Amino acid sequence: MRLLVLGGTVFVSHAVAAAAVARGHRVTCAARGVSGSVPVGAELVRVDRDQPDGLEPLDGRTFDAVVDVESLSFTRVRRALAALGPGAGHWTYVSTSSVYADNETPGQRAGAAPLLDPAPDGADETDRGQYGPLKVACENAVRSAVGERAFVCRPGLIVGPGDWSDRFGYWPARVSLGGRFLAPGRAENEVQYVDVRDCAAWIVTAAEQGLVGTLDAMCPAVRWGDWLTDLSTAVGSAGEPVWVQQDFLVEHGVEPWMGPGSLPMWLPIPEYAGFMTRDVSESLTAGLRIRPLQDTAAASLAWERELGLDRERRSGITREREAELLRLWADRSGPATPSC
């Protein structure tokens, strides 16, 4: 198979290209080539998608499949479709679960869940605050141009080696250090994610098999308590989670999900009870394979150690801040029964 990856130098697109090369496909990566290197065995064609004619180096070439991971710009997506869509046998667009309008209802499926309104023409395509609406606009462009040949893949939180966000890596890094650690909310709450290597492997499989339609890419939801227990085993730690109420975290300025001073992967309940409890049974039937947590945790911890466990993080709290919060939690008057 002749596969074109629009990107191929960092994280998801690099993983897709690497997975395709490993399966013996002829892989071309179209990128500026300034963010990283393409996998060994892949061809790099330098393009600039910000320019109206930026894809000209690919003129005259056709591909059995194209994979586009464009993060925000529907203008870039439309240009790629106009230039390459007619000659592509299959088209994958990597979208996001952030396109959904209802984050509160658990158990939703990709085909039935309501979406955000798409960003209109003229919208600021660099505004990450409009991430969901911009992605909806990108999806619409793909369906309009190559809908009968398109697979729209909606990952949740993508994790594993190469992830710079710290949204997942914070946890194996912290748990590996042992001791009592702050765990957010309740052990019964749930979490979802997808290993970048599993997401990439499924995208290549979709291209090989001509899978079309729209599906989510994430593991089945797992309870936070079970996840942290398995994570501790995977990284060889005897750490002890201390479950801290949601209202206490909010009261003390701990941010959810991501960013400095946050507790990564934690989201307020019930407002986000559906964000990481999506029904992915259709995706599993369609070929998505989820590796054991032990594999993801070990690879993530190795990546964390490569980056430096004591570095200043993009997401997560410091050990000093964690100790302060645990002390305040222990001193808090009233019953210690967790709520949300």
Distance CA 223, CA 43 (A): 42
Nearest to 99 by CA among 121, 115, 113: 115
Tell me the per-residue pLDDT of 327-339, one tens digit each, with 9 for 90 and over. Answer: 999 998 455 444 4
Nearest to 183 by CA among 225, 143, 230: 225
Mean pLDDT throughout 193-206? 98
Mean pLDDT throughout 54-67? 97
Distance CA 229, CA 113 (A): 31
Nearest to 218 by CA among 281, 161, 265, 129: 281
Select the more confidently predicted residue: 301 or 337.
301
Mean pLDDT throughout 10-36? 96
pLDDT score recorded for residue 340:
46
Mean pLDDT of the chain: 95
Tell me the per-residue pLDDT of 308-332, one tens digit each, with 9 for 90 and over. Answer: 999 999 999 999 999 999 999 999 8
pTM above threshold 0.85: yes
Half-sphere CA count of 211, side-chain side, radius 13 A: 23
Could you tell me if 84 and 134 are in contact, meaning their C-beta atoms sit under 8 angstroms apart? Answer: no
Domain 2-155 has CATH 3.40.50.880: no
pLDDT score recorded for residue 256:
97
Q: Are strands 26-31 and 190-191 parallel, antiparallel or unpaired?
A: unpaired
In sequence order, the 6+-apart residues with CB closer than 8 A to the CB of 330 are none
Tell me the per-residue pLDDT of 109-147, one tens digit each, with 9 for 90 and over. Answer: 998 999 999 999 999 999 999 999 999 999 999 999 999
Tell me the per-residue pLDDT of 86-99, one tens digit each, with 9 for 90 and over. Answer: 999 999 999 999 99
Does residue 154 surpass a pLDDT of 90? Answer: yes
| Region label for 14, one of left (φ > 0), alpha (ψ between -120 and 50) or beta (otherwise) | alpha
Does residue 24 surpass a pLDDT of 70? Answer: yes
Mean pLDDT throughout 230-240? 93
Mean pLDDT throughout 32-38? 92
